[in-house]
Amino acid sequence: MWKLVRAENAIETMVATVRFQEPLSSVVTKRILRELERVTFDANLNNRQALQGIQFNVQNNVTAAMTPVALNGSLFQKTSLVRINNQVVNQLVQQLEFQPIHLVYTTWMYKSWKQERETIATLFSKALTAAVQVSAIGGVRLEYVDRFLFQVEGDGKFSAEGLLNKNSGYISPQIFDAPDLFHSHTGRFDEVQENFRRLTQVNVDAQDLVAPPHLAGHRSIGVTTAVDDQYYTSGREFDSDVAPQEILSTFDRLHDEAIDLFKNVVDKNFAAHNGLPFDV
């Protein structure tokens, strides 16, 4: 038997990304960081973290040492005490990541598209206005991870049947006969034009969870549905005064596409019984 990861909906994570066609200069990056400090403070994303990467130093072509290095950008995070499955945990609930190559908003406590849309508008607006003055937009992506937990009943057989649509062209049919855990990662480009293409992705991952603590020991299936508008070659240019609203409208279209994609992937009887897709 399958159940939603949360009582409200199955959405574990939503990620909204805007990629810049070329890295922003240090001057523009600093200006955007100053703006983000203001808007994230007002939105209660008060925990700021510096971004770090790893540098590999090869010596004598034999040994390599790893050294942490600071990246040009920041994470702005919000944590909250939340009750999940009758347990109170301190959980990261929202995060904004800014680097000279992209702007990424992630939520782990999705409420509704209307609410998340307003948050994206608030957090992205001034940063996008500044960024499009010096760089075209390389892409806009919206990604959902829906998670479902398996409860052992009857013969206890772990199976995707009854949860996922066997006739979906986005899922590898071999997973329905798998004797244990499995993965199915598929994608295709649609609406291919001279300087534009849309990538549609569906990743299905079955796994035994080890974290967070309240889910450790559960078997689960995570379904990632993503729609990604890619403006390749020279990117897409926006006027700074309309860029935030036009990119927000793009997210609206991607949201609608993601809903249709989810309907294609999940078993229609399971969806109807559990009120899915959430937030149609």
16 beta partners: 105, 142
Cβ-based neighbours of 234, under 8 Å, separated by 6 or more: 21, 136, 195
Helix, strand counts (H, E) of the chain: 4, 10
Reading the block at residue 210, the tokens are: 């080890």
159, 180, 232 from 3: Cα distances, Å: 13, 19, 40
Residue 35 within any structural domain of the chain: yes
Residue 279: inside a domain: no
CA distance 110 to 149: 18
* Predicted local distance difference test score (pLDDT) of residue 280: 64
The model carries a pTM of 0.91
Q: For the chain, how many structural domains are there in total?
A: 1
State the pLDDT at residue 242.
97
Report if residue 226 sits inside a domain: yes
d(CA 53, CA 26): 18
- Contact predicate 214/237, CB 8 Å: no
pLDDT per residue as tens, the chain (280 positions): 899 998 889 999 999 999 999 999 999 999 999 999 999 999 999 999 988 655 556 655 666 666 655 568 999 999 998 776 677 778 899 999 999 999 999 999 999 999 999 999 999 999 999 999 999 999 999 999 999 999 876 566 899 999 999 999 999 999 999 999 999 999 999 988 989 999 999 999 999 998 877 778 889 999 999 999 999 889 999 999 999 999 999 999 999 999 999 999 999 999 999 999 987 6
Q: Is residue 114 part of a domain?
A: yes
Q: Does residue 252 lie within any of the structural domains?
A: yes
Host domain of residue 44: 2-274
